[in-house]
Structure 1
Amino acid sequence: MSDEMTGHNSSVGGIAADRLRSLVERVERLEEERKALSSDIRDIFVEAKSAGFDVKTIKQIIRIRKMEPADVEEAETLLDIYRRALGMSV
């Protein structure tokens, strides 16, 4: 029996249907995992807030920790220059 007769088209219009289905399903699984992880992260921020931490500052720390040290130094220097220019020196 041919693929066309069984309904299991391995190639439709020059596209490998099984490969395409596999790729789509993998992305769908990863999106579900990402959704679950996002929910877990939100829960951690709720926990941090209930423990008295400022969530906005924690997010800023996380962003800074991802940066290269030279980039952090440059950003801090620019922030200091801009503050002083606006008379906001600390």
Structure 2
Amino acid sequence: MSNLVDSAQLRSFLERIEKLSEEKAAIADDIKDVYAEAKSTGFDAKVIRAIVAMRKQDKAKREEFEEILDLYLSALGDLDGTPLGVAAVEREFGARG
């Protein structure tokens, strides 16, 4: 069975994967350091992480998600009286008054 496997090629793949994994870990550490730096200057790292995640999303999908989120929060009454809640109601039902 060992005759069916090119051990040099397999070893090359494994070494490349291992090297890339090390680089990935180093980059993850660098990213962690940037979040810590942002936090030390007064920024909220959790919010920055959320913004980074949102910016990765397709704009149309993100907007659709935000609309559904607003709808659900509005249905639960969690936005009552807030500018976002008022805007959502006006968008859905038109201006009242």
When normalised by structure 2's length, the TM-score is 0.79
**Percent identity for Structure 1 against Structure 2:** 44
Counterpart CA distance in 1 for 2:42 and 2:16 is: 39
Q: What residue is the counterpart of 2:56 in the other structure?
A: 66
Does residue 21 in structure 1 map to residue 16 in structure 2?
Answer: no
Gaps of at least 5 residues in structure 2 are 83-97
Q: What residue is the counterpart of 1:54 in the other structure?
A: 44
Structure 2 counterpart SS, 1:13: helix
Higher strand share: 1
Number of aligned residues: 80
Q: What residue is the counterpart of 2:93 in the other structure?
A: none
Does residue 77 in structure 1 map to residue 77 in structure 2?
Answer: no
Higher helix share: 2
Counterpart CA distance in 1 for 2:20 and 2:50 is: 26
**Structure of greater relative contact order (alpha carbons < 8 Å, 6+ residues apart):** 2
Q: What residue is the counterpart of 1:7 in the other structure?
A: none
Superposed CA deviations along residues 48-78 of structure 1, whole A, max 9, x for unmatched, are 1001001111011111111111101101101
Pick one of 16, 38, 41 that aligns with 2:28. 38
Q: Please report how far the alpha carbon of residue 13 of structure 1 lies from its aligned counterpart in structure 2 after TM superposition.
A: 3.5
Counterpart CA distance in 2 for 1:52 and 1:79 is: 28
- Post-superposition, which runs of at least 4 consecutive aligned residues in structure 1 deviate over 2 A? none
Gaps of at least 5 residues in structure 1 are 1-10
